[in-house]
A and B are shown apart, each in its own frame.
Chain A
Amino acid sequence: MKEDPATGVETVDVLSAKVQKEIIKAAHEAAETSGGSLYAKRLQIYPKDVSGAFRRFKWAALVVLLGIYYIAPWIRWDRGPGVPDQALLVDMMGQRAYFFWLETWPQEIYYLAGLLILAAVGLFLATSLFGRVWCGFACPQTVWTDLFMWVERRVEGDRNARIKLDEGPLTLEKALKKIAKHSGWLVISLLTGGAWIMYFTDAPTLTRDLVHFQAGQVALFFIGLFTATTYVLGGIAREQVCTYMCPWPRFQAAMLDEDSMIVTYEAWRGEPRGKHKAGTDWEGRGHCVDCNQCVAVCPTGIDIRDGNQLECIGCGLCIDACNHVMGIVKLPRELITYDTISCSAARAEGRPTRYRLVRPRTLIYSGLFAVVGLVMLGTLLTRASFDVNVVRDRNPLYVTLSDGAIRNGYTVKILNKSRESRSFELVAHGLSRAELSLSGQEALPGALALTAQPDSVTSYRIFLRAPEAAVLDETTVMAFSVTETGQGETVTHESVFRGPAR
């Protein structure tokens, strides 16, 4: 690192763009001598520490999000005896998912679909308004990479120290530092993997089992799996996940327009860039002093001055770095700024800036979000505490009885979501003089009383008979309704009644 005596700016041309280009050139030459490899070697990125508003916000987001992640499975929620008391729990073996007051069955997986649609549309909306805020601050990949980089910085030092360490020979100190860093990463990974499975089993029980070395193989397997993925993705793969593996950066450009807030370099003000001697005039040149601080701090190793690009995760750390330098050279801040392209262009031309949050794009995304949200809310509020499924016998389609009446067989399944045994009344609609009976019992007109076992599906084979004169068609569309006795909550299921060809 060199310090410009005139400006006091630390320049890091040790690994400036020029050096990086040389490395790439060397890599190409090496590839050619090795017989023309088609594989470009990864360029290690050494993000520099930085302080400022965006860095503080990123730390805050990290603390809050990790806090939620680690604390959430420990929240208790009393649901009565025999039911898990964990507020957030996906019980794979018991086939139930619990979310505070809500208990969902596998049949209701559409709530998950709805939630994912909400998340996607929410992501579109946030991106069209504020750029890649998800990528920059909230994505687990970003959060854990940030945490891993913090460990790395504590152990190996800042950017230049790390570059020097990696370039230097293997010494005892280097080995110890590397061991310490990877151990730290592994501990974090283990805690991450360990916390993840708390969402799928009772957290206190599992923790006790883990402490006593009694945890089951499945739990250990998944802890191992998520430990490994956290370590590889957050420690080793890092920005390559965002650049090469994640589909989102590839199509997020479709959500952005000139009115989206993004991290942007104000080229009109910065160019032509160049080194600046203290005391010399700023006339005829741009404000960018080409100190490369914005590149040095970037977690994905790009140069924001080349414009918005898919590698940019929108974290704004380059803004913090540039603001710091602008302070030193006593120029206005925000040469790299978090703003819209149209505002930037307006400033370049001296026009007043204008923010347009309400645009067709954002209206469509908000509308979609509202529609999906309302539909989900609606289904949640009107969600019956039981569900009914009726499966008609296909063989035989119908049976002629001794007295000439036509009888169809059905299997009625009552899915009782509550924890108590409940009684229901089954009624057939749409067929005159119809009589219901349970298999092996006498047919009676009117309602059929059925009992549903608690928290399970109770299945009944029932018969529906009607006098031949009442069966007017080969296929009669009819319906079964199931009403809870004395409660009035009703679920209706449409079916058909088959008779002989007319």
Chain B
Amino acid sequence: MPTKVEKDAFTGTETTGHEWDGIKELDTPMPRWWLYTLYATILFAVIYMILYPAIPWLGEAGYTRGVLGFSQRVELEESMAEARSEQAVYLEKLEAASLEGMLDDPELVNFALAGGRTAFADNCVPCHGAGGAGGPGYPVLADDDWLWGGTLDDIYITLKHGIRWPGDEDTRDSAMPAFGSDELLDGAQINDVAEYVLALSGTGGDEAAAARGGAVYAENCAACHGDGGEGNREFGAPRLTDAIWLYGGDKQEVVETITKSRNGAMPAWKDRLDDSTVKQLAIYVHSLGGGE
């Protein structure tokens, strides 16, 4: 590009010497304030580089540390330590308090609810859903039906030891036989008992089959689920007379459950979470649907 610096006759300012499509640009000086601002930012940058970590690759730490010794990591650790020391008061109280006694201390309950909410989001939401909404195979925690009991103590023990969890001797354990797969019942019997179970909650369709299924139920199911289908918390055997179905309440799902059995599991959290976190979770889960 040809450059020819010339003096503009009208303003007396020199041009930049460039020309685009016949348009020339005046080389007008920057406004003074603008220039000073630029110098100020350069000065700021220099001072900043001296005071704060700035240049990588240099120095022992792999970067220049700056004379103030500032570090975001240290700041974070300090604020975390501060938060922990603020929590310590409540955590100690939580350790000491009995589960039932905790409910009398609104401040402690608030703390537990806040902590429990976070722990729940971190550990429980993948299966039980946000707010304990549950899903097929994973119990709703916000309703009024509890397989293994809904008191604070029951929830606490379930959390601690899990359900059908191999690594824990005290885990809540039971196993429903796979009546079909293990050939304990034939297809017709399974169909009849499924109709009987559906009829218990008033959703059955085939009364004749249900009547036949009654005998099958009494022989095979009543031991755990109760003579009237009222369930048994000792075995985590669901109540069959209500409107809540863990694996779905239509006939196909019920037949599937009887044929292959389900036996869902939940981890024991005692090795993964400390006792106060489990207590917080118990309080939180208890609050979701009002507990028992």
Residues of chain A whose beta carbon lies under 8 Å from any beta carbon of chain B: 35-39, 393-397, 399-404, 407, 409, 437, 439-441, 461, 463, 468
Residues in A neighbouring B243, C-beta threshold 8 A: 400-404, 468
Complex CA–CA separation, A412 to B125 (angstroms)? 25
B10 to chain A, nearest CB (A): 14
Query: Does B65 count as interface, using CB distance less than 8 angstroms?
Result: no
- A395 lies within 8 A of B290 (CB): no
Known: A396-B134, A400-B244. 4 other contacts (CB 8 A): A35-B29, A39-B33, A399-B142, A402-B239
Query: What are the 10 tightest A-B residue pairs by CB atom distance, in nearest-first order?
Result: A395-B131, A396-B133, A404-B243, A402-B242, A395-B130, A440-B290, A399-B143, A439-B290, A399-B142, A402-B145
21 of the cross-chain contacts (CB-CB < 8 Å) are: A38-B29, A38-B31, A39-B31, A393-B131, A396-B131, A396-B132, A396-B134, A396-B140, A396-B142, A399-B140, A401-B145, A401-B244, A402-B239, A402-B244, A403-B242, A407-B143, A439-B287, A440-B286, A440-B287, A440-B290, A461-B287
A463's partner among B13, B239, B244, B290 (CB-CB below 8 A) is B290
B positions within 8 Å CB-CB of A: 13, 29, 31-33, 129-134, 140, 142-145, 239, 242-244, 286-287, 289-291
A441 to B291, CA, bound (A): 9
Contact A36 B29 (CB under 8 A): yes
Q: Which residues of B contact A400 (CB under 8 A)?
A: 140, 143, 243-244
Which residues of the partner chain A approach B290 to less than 8 Å between Cβ atoms? 437, 439-441, 463
**Chain B residues near A463 (CB, 8 Å)?**
290
Measured CB to CB, the closest approach of chain B to A35, in angstroms, equals: 7
Residues of chain B lying within 8 A (CB to CB) of residue A394 = 131
Q: Are A396 and B129 in contact (CB under 8 A)?
A: yes
With the chains together, A104 CA to B266 CA distance in Å? 51
Q: Which residue of A lies closest to B241 (CB)?
A: A402
With both chains docked as a complex, state the minimum distance between the C-beta of A361 and any C-beta of chain B, in angstroms.
40
> Whole-angstrom distance between the alpha carbons of A393 and B31 in the complex?
59
Asked if B13 contacts A402 (CB within 8 A), the reply is no
Verify B144–A401 contact, CB threshold 8 A. yes
- Alpha-carbon distance A106/B132, docked complex (angstroms): 34
User: What residues of chain A lie closer than 8 Å to B13, measured between beta carbons?
Assistant: 36
Interface of A is mostly: loop
Q: Which residue of A lies closest to B30 (CB)?
A: A38
Residue picked from A399, A409, A439, A468, most chain B C-beta under 10 Å = A399
Closest to B29 in A: A36
Please state if B32 and A39 are interface contacts (CB–CB under 8 Å). yes
Nearest CB of B to A402, in Å: 4
Q: A36-B29, A37-B32 are in contact. Are A402 and B143 (CB under 8 A)?
A: yes
CB-based nearest B residue for A36:
B29
B145 cross-chain contacts in A, Cβ below 8 A = 401-402
Q: A401-B143, A402-B239 are in contact. Are A440 and B291 (CB under 8 A)?
A: yes
Q: Are A395 and B133 in contact (CB under 8 A)?
A: yes
CA of A440 to CA of B243, assembled, Å: 20
State in angstroms the CA–CA spacing of A83 and B243 once bound together.
54
- Complex CA distance for A395 and B145, rounded to whole angstroms: 17
Instruction: Give bound CA distance, A399 to B82, whole Å.
Output: 40
A402 touching B129, Cβ below 8 Å: no
B32 touches which of A38, A404, A468 (Cβ 8 Å): A38
**Residue numbers in A under 8 Å from B33 (CB-CB):** 39
- CB-CB under 8 A from B289, the residues of chain A are 399
Whole-angstrom distance between the Cβ of A207 and the nearest chain B Cβ: 35
Q: Are B144 and A402 in contact (CB under 8 A)?
A: yes
On chain B, the residues within 8 Å of A397 by CB distance are 133
Q: How far is the CA of A257 from the CA of B287 in the complex (A)?
A: 67
With a cutoff of 8 Å between Cβ atoms, the chain B residues found around residue A402 in the complex are: 143-145, 239, 242-244
Q: Shortest Cβ distance from B136 into chain A, in angstroms? A: 13
Q: CA of A439 to CA of B283 in the docked complex: distance in angstroms?
A: 12
How distant is the Cα of A324 from the Cα of B47 in the complex, in angstroms?
A: 60
User: Which residues of the other chain, B, contact A38 by a CB distance below 8 angstroms?
Assistant: 29, 31-32
Residues of B within 8 A of A440 (CB): 286-287, 290-291
Specify the chain B residue showing the minimal Cβ separation from A442.
B290
Report chain B residues within 8 Å CB of A37.
Answer: 32
When C-beta atoms are compared, the residue in chain A nearest to B31 turns out to be A38
- Residue of B130, B140, B144, B244 with most chain A CB atoms under a 10 A cut-off: B144
Closest-by-CB residue of B relative to A468 is: B243
Chain B residue with minimal CB distance to A402? B242
Of all chain A residues, the one with the shortest Cβ separation from B243 is A404
CA A393 – CA B132 in complex, angstroms? 11
Query: A407 to B133, alpha carbons, bound, how many Å?
Result: 12
Interchain CA distance A468-B242 in the complex, whole Å: 13
Q: How far is the CA of A35 from the CA of B12 in the complex (A)?
A: 11
Alpha-carbon distance A394/B133, docked complex (angstroms): 10
Cα of A35 to Cα of B28 in the assembled complex, Å: 11
Write the chain B residue with the least CB distance to A463: B290
Measured between beta carbons, the chain A residues less than 8 angstroms from B31 are 38-39
Nearest Cβ on chain B to A399's Cβ, whole angstroms? 5
CB distance from A216 to the nearest CB of B (A): 22
* Docked pose: A394 CA to B242 CA in angstroms: 25
**How far is it, in angstroms, between the C-alpha of A409 and the C-alpha of B131 when the chains are bound?**
11
Distance in angstroms between the alpha carbons of A396 and B133 in the assembled complex: 5
Chain B nearest CB, measured from A78 CB (Å): 33
Residue of B nearest to A459 (CB): B110
Q: Which residue among B13, B140, B142 has the maximum number of chain A CB atoms within 10 Å of its CB? A: B142
Cα(A333)–Cα(B286), bound, Å: 88
> What A residues does B244 contact at CB under 8 A?
400-402
Instruction: State in angstroms the CA–CA spacing of A328 and B242 once bound together.
Output: 106
CB closest residue in chain A, given B110: A459
Decide: B142 and A409 in contact? CB cutoff 8 A.
yes
Task: Give the shortest distance, in Å, between A460 (CB) and chain B (any CB).
Answer: 12
Interface centre among B133, B143, B290, by most chain A C-beta atoms within 10 angstroms, is B290
A463 to B290 Cα, complex, angstroms? 9
Taking the nearest CB of chain A, how far is it from the CB of B38, in angstroms?
Answer: 15
Contacts of B287 in A (CB 8 A): 439-440, 461
Residue of B with least CB distance to A38: B31
With a cutoff of 8 Å between Cβ atoms, the chain B residues found around residue A396 in the complex are 129, 131-134, 140, 142
CA distance A468 to B202 in the complex (A): 14
Closest beta carbon of chain B to A194's beta carbon, Å:
32
A417 CB, nearest partner CB in chain B, Å: 23
Q: Which residues of A contact B140 (CB under 8 A)?
A: 396, 399-400
Across the two chains, which residue of chain A brings its CB closest to B239? Answer: A402
- Determine the distance from Cα of A402 to Cα of B145 in the docked complex, in whole angstroms: 6
Report how far A395 CA is from B196 CA in the complex, Å.
34
In Å, the complex CA distance between A409 and B140 comes to 14
- Nearest chain B residue, comparing its CB with the CB of A401: B144
User: What separation, in Å, do the CA atoms of A403 and B239 have in the docked complex?
Assistant: 11
Residues from chain A with Cβ under 8 Å of B286 in the complex: 440
In the complex, what residue of chain B is closest to A439 when comparing beta carbons?
B290
Chain B residue contacts of A441, Cβ below 8 A: 290
Smallest CB separation, B134 vs chain A (Å)? 7
Tell me which residues across on chain A come within 8 A of B132, comparing CB atoms: 396
CA gap between A439 and B103 in the complex, in Å:
13
| Nearest opposing residue in chain B for A394, CB measure | B131
A400 to B245, CA, bound (A): 10
Residues of B within 8 A of A403 (CB): 242-243
